[in-house]
Amino acid sequence: MGEKDSSAQPSGAEISCSLAERFGHAGFLPGQEQVVRAVLDGQDCLVVMPTGGGKSLCYQLPAVLRAEGVTLVISPLIALMKDQVDALEARGIAATFLNSSLGWDEMAARLEQMAHGQFRLVYIAPERFRNERFLDALGPVKVELFAVDEAHCISTWGHDFRPDYLRLRQAIERVGRPQVIALTATATPEVCADIADQLGLAAPRIFVRGFARPNLALGVHAIRSHEEKLRRTLEILSDCHTAIVYCATRASADKTRARLAANGIDCLAYHAGLPDGERQSVQERFMAGGLPVVVATNAFGMGIDRADLRAVVHWDVPGSLEAYYQEAGRAGRDGQPARCELLYTYADARTHEFFIQSSAPDERTVMAVLEAFEALCAQRGAVPTAVMIAARLGPGVKRVAVSSALTQLRRAGAIETGAGEAARGADPDRALEEVLREAQQRAERERSRLRRMLRYADSRECRHAFILRYFGDPEGDEVCGRCDNCLRRDRPSALGRAPDEAEWIQIQKVLSCVARLHGRFGRARVTQVLAGSRLAEVLRLRLDRLPTYGALSDCSQARIRSLIEALVDADCIATRGDEYPTLVLTSKGREVMHRRREVLLALAPPRARPAPSKAKSAAPKTPTSGPLSAPPSPLLVEALRALRNRLARQRGVPAYAILTNATLQAVAAAAPRDEAELLAVKGIGPAKLEDLGREILQTVASLRAAPGGQEKGGAG
């Protein structure tokens, strides 16, 4: 592909005129003009701009200004293509879309119109390129520009990999290798390099701009319980009436929506587990302004553009900083102030670790997928899907692992697909090694992104500067003065009060522990040492031999963490490192440790532990799953205990390894009807849900269905 004659390119006046007349903009947003000119000069481009940065104009305006040819826009947003095309047509710009909503006759008619130059922009779903017939039909079309939206989906290093994007490089060659522009809202320098390589970009111009969103008040709030999460979210929603509340799982989204609705919030849930019609209805109501709050998973993502969104709350920590900033960036699209609050607890990381482990196929799963693929090919004569293979393998194999294995087998050449047919590759044994190696590497990349996300949550530096530097934006060295960390530094009074004598002793113990660990460990390990944890890793490292081991065993770990954070805020403790931040004592901290210097700390007083009364100690504890939980049914307690004992005997483990007494009582009190309610019970995490959820729910349901078996602990 050669560069175009710059003398034939539109002048600055022509560009400005078209920008105003065809798109209604008086000027460019930051970074847009440089990209438009590079595209008009015929250069391949890679554009990284955040949500709301105006990426679409970077290919739409050149498409309008060029005298001939069509711009193909590759987008996974099938549900929004018609809206985008309608908006272009309303501006007098000839556009259309090609996706699975069209029959082949209509598809063929639009392809013929493309060949005759009747469209300037055509939106295409990436899965169209699976079809050889479709690729052949593009032959007569003069493609001037190939625009790949959401380009991070092509990278296995990215946070939202889509297998269909892997076909795009071949598609680019099939349509004559036109100029290419790749666009994404979230890509680190590492992901940018992978995008350029996967698409075969020719010496691309790379633009990373516009990540600064000064109207967003970024904040992180350390949370100790679901009740505190609820209170904090209700506080935010009382001030910001239009919001998205993001949750990590479908069950969490459903449960959170129910709790918000019970407190008077007009909201609905949105996630991939809902019927298509219900999801579309929720999205349309929200976009039209008829629904103020949506509680959603990341399925409520690409293409969501409501200008007056005043808040984005993350109920759970996302798995990566890319995902977080893309979701948070949906707030304040009108340029007015908006809040982005992350409700943070260390326990959130366990959910993501479960996801990472589930999506990384082991050798047994990969071989099972390969064998099922071959068997289905022989039976059906068509390319088996991940859903078909998962159904054949049964409930013991997770669908996400099947999908991952299938993608990696295809990339490694162990299976070959094309033109609606499939076959085993030439050397599946060698490919298997490559698949397993790639699965391990991908899992480690995901863990690395998670560590960066947790590093952001723990950071005491300017949050805007942290994000800008992470994405390689040149504006990343400044401080914003608006995030929670900057505001804390700018208000000396926010550092709080002088500690009392009892707190001084606690502070000295914390500082002494940090000093004795010599910068080798982070917050979690320091907390474990001070609490006297008996975790295997603590004992293996012989940290139980330190003089400060168990020095604060009379405090909760939450209290110890709050002491550490207060000392970090007061510059007595510093963090070192990026992915694996560790704690070190500062010179100020050493003086405070020896009480040669006073200090003010943003620290709540320790909670007094009430002495247990005889009446209370005689009564069994009944954990609750919510503020209105009723006492558990004795019949259900006994049924769950019988289930626990049976499973313990089968597995040869102690009963408490199946369910602790506290968790068993909590399940009985909640009497959950579905996975969402069960996951909300304290002590039931994603792994426990996967292992025991079906049998627990069957036990509850069977007792409820028995004569006289209506449970008091459930929702009637």
Residue where the block lists tokens 């952001």: 456
pLDDT for position 609: 44
Judged against a pLDDT cut of 90, whether residue 708 lies above it is answered with: no
Residue 567 CA, chain-centre distance (Å), reads 30
pLDDT for position 606: 53
CA distance 232 to 242: 16
CA distances to 259, 364, 612, 618, 619 from 615, in Å:
32, 55, 8, 5, 7
Enumerate residues 6+ apart whose C-beta is below 8 A from 652.
none
Segment holding 93, helix H or strand E: none
Among candidate residues 129, 143, 125, the one with its CA nearest the CA of residue 75: 125
- What CATH number is attached to the domain comprising 661? 1.10.150.80
Segment holding 179, helix H or strand E: strand 179-184
Indicate if 42 and 177 belong to the same structural domain. Answer: yes
Burial of 500 (0-12, 13-18, 19+ CB in 10 A): exposed
Each residue's pLDDT tens digit, 532-560: 988 888 999 999 999 999 999 988 887 89
**Which of 54-58, 269-273, 701-705 comes out lowest in average pLDDT?**
701-705
Indicate if 198 and 243 belong to the same structural domain. Answer: no
Report residue 127's pLDDT band, with 50, 70 and 90 as the boundaries: confident
pLDDT for position 379: 76
Find the mean pLDDT for residues 363-383.
Answer: 79
Each residue's pLDDT tens digit, 631-671: 678 888 888 988 988 888 887 777 777 888 888 888 888 88
Q: DSSP assignment, residue 242? A: S
3-state secondary structure of 45: strand
CA distance 100 to 134: 12
Indicate if 142 and 187 belong to the same structural domain. Answer: yes
**Which of 195-199, 401-405, 413-417, 452-456 comes out lowest in average pLDDT?**
413-417
Average pLDDT over all residues of the chain: 82
Indicate if 129 and 27 belong to the same structural domain. Answer: yes
**Opening angle at CA 57, ends 52 and 60, nearest 5:** 145
Residue 444 maps to a domain: yes
Residue 16 maps to a domain: yes
Judged against a pLDDT cut of 80, whether residue 74 lies above it is answered with: yes
Find the mean pLDDT for residues 492-501.
Answer: 70
Residue 715 maps to a domain: no
Beta bridge partners, 47, equal: 183, 207
Please check whether residue 98 is in contact with residue 125, taking contact to mean a CB–CB distance below 8 angstroms: yes
pLDDT for position 626: 39
Indicate if 161 and 229 belong to the same structural domain. Answer: no
Query: Where does a domain end: 187, 208, 229?
Result: 208
> Helices 32-40 and 57-65: crossing angle, nearest 10°?
40
**Residue 623 one-letter amino acid:** P
Q: Which residue has the higher pLDDT, 141 or 655?
A: 141
Judged against a pLDDT cut of 90, whether residue 313 lies above it is answered with: yes
**Residue 548 one-letter amino acid:** T
Indicate if 556 and 667 belong to the same structural domain. Answer: no
- What CATH number is attached to the domain comprising 113? 3.40.50.300
Segment holding 528, helix H or strand E: helix 523-531
B/e letters for 676-697, b = 16+ CB within 10 Å, e = fewer, are: bbbbbbeebebebbeebbeebb
Report residue 686's pLDDT band, with 50, 70 and 90 as the boundaries: low
Residue 712 maps to a domain: no
Indicate if 444 and 530 belong to the same structural domain. Answer: no
Indicate if 203 and 253 belong to the same structural domain. Answer: no
Judged against a pLDDT cut of 70, whether residue 297 lies above it is answered with: yes
Indicate if 581 and 642 belong to the same structural domain. Answer: no
Residue where the block lists tokens 């997770």: 398
Residue 226 sits in which domain range? Answer: 216-345
Residue 598 maps to a domain: no
Indicate if 332 and 248 belong to the same structural domain. Answer: yes
CA distance 704 to 716: 9
DSSP strand pairing (70-74 vs 143-148): parallel
pLDDT for position 40: 93
Residue 478 maps to a domain: no
- What CATH number is attached to the domain comprising 396? 1.10.10
Beta bridge partners, 312, equal: 244, 340
Please check whether residue 466 is in contact with residue 574, taking contact to mean a CB–CB distance below 8 angstroms: no
Strands, E, within 412-544: which ranges?
415-418, 421-424
Query: Where does a domain end: 175, 191, 208?
Result: 208
Report residue 705's pLDDT band, with 50, 70 and 90 as the boundaries: low
Burial of 113 (0-12, 13-18, 19+ CB in 10 A): middle
The total domain count for the chain is 5
Query: Where does a domain end: 345, 366, 396?
Result: 345
B/e letters for 172-183, b = 16+ CB within 10 Å, e = fewer, are: bebbeebbbbbb
Q: DSSP assignment, residue 275? A: -
pLDDT for position 688: 78
User: For 192, how many CA atoms within 13 A lie in the half-sphere containing its CB?
Assistant: 22
Residue 45 maps to a domain: yes
Beta bridge partners, 122, equal: 72, 96
Indicate if 563 and 688 belong to the same structural domain. Answer: no
Judged against a pLDDT cut of 50, whether residue 715 lies above it is answered with: no
Judged against a pLDDT cut of 80, whether residue 122 lies above it is answered with: yes
Indicate if 92 and 188 belong to the same structural domain. Answer: yes
- What CATH number is attached to the domain comprising 535? 1.10.10.10
pLDDT for position 673: 82
pLDDT for position 627: 38
Please check whether residue 357 is in contact with residue 350, taking contact to mean a CB–CB distance below 8 angstroms: no
Q: Which residue has the higher pLDDT, 262 or 401?
A: 262
Strands, E, within 42-81: which ranges?
45-48, 70-74
Q: How many residues are given for the chain?
A: 716
Among candidate residues 169, 93, 176, 173, the one with its CA nearest the CA of residue 140: 176
Judged against a pLDDT cut of 70, whether residue 499 lies above it is answered with: yes
Residue 716 maps to a domain: no
pLDDT for position 93: 93
| Structure tokens that stand for 432 in this block | 């298997």
Please check whether residue 639 is in contact with residue 709, taking contact to mean a CB–CB distance below 8 angstroms: no
